Amino acid sequence: MALTPKDVLQALAPFRTAGGIEPLKAGYIQDVSIEPHADGTRVNLHVDDTWRGAAVSNADREALGSFVKAHFSEVVAVRVIPRSKEQADTARKIAKPGQAPPRTPLGVKMIAIISGKGGVGKSTVSINLAHALAGLGLRTGILDCDIYGFSVPDLLQLSEPVKTRDKRFIPPRVHDIDVMSMKFFVGHNAPVMWRGPLLGKAIRQMIEETLWNQPEYMVLDLPPGTGDIAMDVHEYFPKAAAIVVTTPDANAARVAERAGQMARSMDRRLLGVIENMSFMNCPECGYQWYPLGHGGAESVAQSLEIPVLAKIPWVISGDSGVSGLVPDGHPAQEIYRTMAQAVAQMDLVPAGPVSVNH
């Protein structure tokens, strides 16, 4: 039987460097590819040469190669390829939807925030959930994949341009969240048709060419809708679970259900539904009322058979309220915190070495 990347990864499991590091467990080895040649099989080990690489010496890399060769008699050569070089190559190619999904940081759990309708508060929920996860001490990133409506940097009041190091992006960190956004790629109102290859390229760059700080969670703010664009973007995150956002009204709920069904048809796990702008409390007397009616979350929950994760009230932050983050001390903060705790308890599938999982 022909050698597979999985065989190589399995064989490498017990390998340790001279310094006692297990490269596979440490996430140093990100992927394996196999090249059959007339004179035998060549194995490429795609390694992360960022923080993990620092601890792995040239001698260790040679030992890795010898280890693989000693294990498989058909292997004639082993190359250790740093990821940064690969990424430069990838950037030169134009990615197409349907290609292999981008390499996500190893171990990250991705949560896509989806809705059918625009304007229901997806981006607001995304940043507040990310903030609450970070508040639990979890390393959290947010990826703003909303092509036409990127708004995460503005909602987080992030104005500085994104910096680069070694031709990779350094995600700006605000409120303990590492941020990447389409905004950094599009510039000011650039009239670009973000479909197909260009869209894929931008999303790939956002993930692969960013020096992520080993995030444990990554919240994805996806474009609204159930059409081609939303589906194109979904395709790039096969491992992401999804949370559906709706408002209490029946219209939003119906479209949210369709978005949930679409996600499910693409094999996404649906974690639950959030009802945003659910109720309003009078700051004077505490009276609670429901400007958008009732029942949206329950309707989505019932039709998709998923739990209601939270009901978020209206957050009125006054004239100075340009930030989308819930102000400190607002009751909605506790709601987000409780929801983040529930999400952190869920058994989400982390991204693994690429070849093993698809």
Q: Which residues bind ligand ATP (CB under 6 A)?
A: 115, 118-124, 146, 149, 151, 224, 276-277, 312, 314-315, 324
Tokens 């065989």 belong to which residue?
A: 7
- List the single partner that 226 binds among ligand ATP, Mg ion, none, CB under 5 to 8 Å by kind: none
**Tokens, residue 266:** 């693409």
As measured in angstroms, the least distance from the Cβ of 144 to Mg ion is: 8
Q: Which of 13/316 has CB closer to ligand ATP? A: 316
* Nearest CB to ligand ATP, comparing residues 20 and 318: 318
Quick one: tokens of 127?
Answer: 């940043």
**Shortest distance, position 310 Cβ to ligand ATP, whole Å:** 11
Partner that binds at residue 321, options ligand ATP, Mg ion, none, CB closer than 5 to 8 Å by kind = none
- Report the residue number, 17 or 151, with the smaller CB distance to Mg ion: 151
Q: Of the candidates 17, 30, 123, 299, which one interacts with Mg ion according to CB under 5 A?
A: 123
Please report how close the Cβ of residue 171 comes to ligand ATP at its closest, in angstroms.
20
> Does 128 interact with Mg ion (rule: CB under 5 A)?
no
- The least CB distance from residue 354 to ligand ATP, in Å, is 30
- Size of site (CB under 5 A) for Mg ion: 5
Cα–Cα distance measured from residue 267 to residue 270, given in angstroms and rounded to the nearest whole number: 9
Tokens of residue 183, six digits: 């905004």
Closer to ligand ATP by Cβ: residue 40 or 149: 149
- Give per-residue burial for 321-335: e unless 16+ CB within 10 Å, then b: eeebbbeeeeebbeb
**Residue among 121 and 296 whose Cβ is closer to Mg ion:** 121
* CA-based nearest residue to 332, from 93, 65, 43, 127: 127
Rounded Cα–Cα distance for residues 257 and 273 (Å): 10
CA 55 to chain centre: 27
Q: Where is 194: in which H helix or E strand? A: none
Non-local CB neighbours of 347 within 8 Å, separated by 6+ positions: none
Residue nearest to ligand ATP (CB): 118
Least Cα distance to 6 among 353, 335, 337, 286 occurs for 353
> Of the two residues 246 and 299, which places its CB atom closer to ligand ATP in the complex?
246
State in angstroms the smallest separation of the CB of 221 from Mg ion: 6
Using DSSP's 3-state secondary structure scheme, residue 102 falls into coil
DSSP helix/strand/coil, 158: coil
**Contact stretch for Mg ion (CB under 5 A) within 52-60, 129-137, 139-147, 248-256:** 139-147
Q: Which residues are at the interface with Mg ion (CB under 5 A)?
A: 122-123, 146, 149, 151
